Structure 1
């Protein structure tokens, strides 16, 4: 429109319009006396504010002024004049997650996992302060930069301090990302944020939200339905990722995954978030691994090298200095090569143990003809060993865990005698092998995770070229 101009603010020059909503418009801006500082300014027109929107704005200012976290948008200041209230925040050059997903159609699982970790770390920080966001959606999640993308949780207008099991009855947020209890009963608590995380995760992986609809009436019908959420078969996602999705997208909040279980879920894996301590933790494991290696304790050394690699990946991602990053990467390659060598040695030792275990297992089966459940569990153990020998580690580990679950129960009920001794030895052997397989599967995961970090950077840069 001819003659259009952004609001005026004495200390800033407002330039590009970044977005707008019912009550506010966001602009990119530069501080007048420091041309290097770029910020975003949310301009809220006082004329558009009713009582509810004033409360929302005050809540947003209160929360953002008191929380400081690397994955929560920083509120630098707020000002006002006769017509506007101005929220001055850090500027996020990468746009929002909604646009990012739309330009890429779907995100690879490794990229999605990195973003999920960052979102989960912000939610854990808020959870510990009894704060719920209540309007989680990709439009409210920003990408901080182009070269080193970090998620920044924004727009706390609907956020609330949720003390214990406080319930709220007013409808908040966007229907596509709302938990069913918000729409159906309008009685809800902090657990609605977990449903919204599930919807965001689903959309990132499959390119659309689970309740994507052509009309509001169709959307409402899907929300009010009692049918469980079906996960698409394509693209394929890992077992851990599928498990998390299925536990987040549960209609009944009492059956939905809890916050604590979400934060500790293996797909979220907050323990291995990139941070300043990552390299220190990795180095401690390597020092111990080298000692064990030198003492000829190969299995223990392999396990410790694997644990070190789990922290080297986030250490690489956290490091910004190019030379230091290359030095770390070079060391990691050496440790992976040594782990490869140790794997051959340990695998050879384990194969001989497997062969020794076959005869005792067959004897145990002969002694268990009168116990069908024990006999069946030993059959599963035999199948696990067969898959193990074929090199099918994932299938073997599943079968090992199934058989061990049953055999441990059988051991508790078994009376003293030769069969109990054999069963105890069998369980020990299977547990040792299962643990080895777990470590073996982690050994090379650093390559795919490191690739995931590179894909993340490439994805952001690619999406920016499309914008």
Structure 2
């Protein structure tokens, strides 16, 4: 069975205890489905990860994601409800065999023929199952269309990107509240020594009513535990990627602070600060353009300060997480009569 066929699971397929309803999104190595728990009837999001598409680094990221999500329960981190591995090749084979049995049993008037079909089918399925479970080598897993399903809470509010498309730039007090929630979620990552490496509006989900939106950091597919030394792997989304990553330099958790700065800027302006067509143009823009060229008039000085220091091209001068989290823009109630108030 071709791996591409496994990517074409359609709505109404049942995977474990979940019925797939519609496709929410996909990448080169995963697909996210809106699904329904067939026992409770509750809505969930099912992230289908194709193991054969993952190299060693991505496999390590998947392990990091599973370990992290299974150990935390925080309102600003997407919640993992269930996880299981399934071999889609075997699943479709079993479905095909069952269909064959049902079709032949309809046309067969002889009970002995029907019994023989059932016996042969059971023997075949047991043989396949034994081979699969006792020969589960890395090679077999890469060839057998194995997928891991991460069942996550479903966020009916969509993501922050769609929110910005619908609302445009937001009031400063809303940008402050959203940034506070991102900070609360990132504090959990910090406590586990994890860098996300792909923070962007598409990976921040919204839950609750519009008047009381709760932000949830999601998609930890590129996250990793930060070692004692720095990291060199290039990954993420160019518009939200720190200059040191774009320039193939070593980096640390401050790359997430850069991404938060870009998101905060986009909340206040309705568009990201650096929109070059190429990575080189983004590097040039982020390294050369002074932040003052981008500021909307009327922003509170504390807001300007935190945004400009998050978007420092030099990671040494950029805010650390603790400096960001305890910045007075986020901690002092009220920001005065400024833009959007």
Identify whether the pair has TM-score above 0.5, normalized to the shorter chain: yes
Deviation of 1:29 after TM superposition, in Å, equals: 1.2
Matched, 1:65 2:61: no
Deviation of 1:234 after TM superposition, in Å, equals: 2.8
1:245-394 maps to which residues of 2 (within 5 A)? 245-269=307-331
Name the residue aligned to 2:241.
178
Name the residue aligned to 2:84.
79
Relative contact order higher in (CA < 8 Å, ≥ 6 apart): 2
Matched, 1:19 2:81: no
Q: Counterparts of 1:117 and 1:93 in 2: how far apart (Å)?
A: 21
Q: Counterparts of 1:50 and 1:130 in 2: how far apart (Å)?
A: 23
When the two structures are aligned, how many residues end up with a matched partner?
A: 273
Listed one character per residue, the Cα deviations across residues 88-129 of structure 1 (whole Å, up to 9, x for unaligned) are 000000111011112212111111111111101111222122
Matched, 1:156 2:161: no
Q: What's the secondary structure of 1:28's corresponding residue?
A: strand
TM-score of the pair, normalised by structure 2: 0.74
Larger radius of gyration: 1
Residues 1:258 and 1:9: Cα distance change in structure 2 (over 3 Å):
same
TM-score of the pair, normalised by structure 1: 0.55
Name the residue aligned to 1:218.
281
Listed one character per residue, the Cα deviations across residues 2-25 of structure 1 (whole Å, up to 9, x for unaligned) are x97145303111112111112111
Residues 1:215 and 1:189: Cα distance change in structure 2 (over 3 Å):
closer
| Larger relative helix fraction | 1
Contact in 1 for aligned 2:247/2:283 (Cα 8 Å): no
Contact in 1 for aligned 2:182/2:217 (Cα 8 Å): yes
Deviation of 1:172 after TM superposition, in Å, equals: 1.5
Residues 1:210 and 1:197: Cα distance change in structure 2 (over 3 Å):
same
Deviation of 1:48 after TM superposition, in Å, equals: 2.7
Q: Counterparts of 1:126 and 1:159 in 2: how far apart (Å)?
A: 10
Q: Counterparts of 2:232 and 2:279 in 1: how far apart (Å)?
A: 21
Q: What's the secondary structure of 2:328's corresponding residue?
A: coil
Q: Counterparts of 2:16 and 2:295 in 1: how far apart (Å)?
A: 55
Name the residue aligned to 1:39.
44
Q: Counterparts of 1:159 and 1:214 in 2: how far apart (Å)?
A: 26
Listed one character per residue, the Cα deviations across residues 65-90 of structure 1 (whole Å, up to 9, x for unaligned) are 11221100011111111132100000
Listed one character per residue, the Cα deviations across residues 278-323 of structure 1 (whole Å, up to 9, x for unaligned) are xxxxxxxxxxxxxxxxxxxxxxxxxxxxxxxx6xxxxxxxxxxxxx
1:84-233 maps to which residues of 2 (within 5 A)? 84-147=147-210, 148-163=212-227, 166-223=229-286, 225-233=287-295
Q: What's the secondary structure of 2:265's corresponding residue?
A: helix
Unaligned runs of 5+ in 1: 273-309, 311-441, 453-467
Listed one character per residue, the Cα deviations across residues 424-454 of structure 1 (whole Å, up to 9, x for unaligned) are xxxxxxxxxxxxxxxxxx6x96x99xx98xx
| Larger relative strand fraction | 2
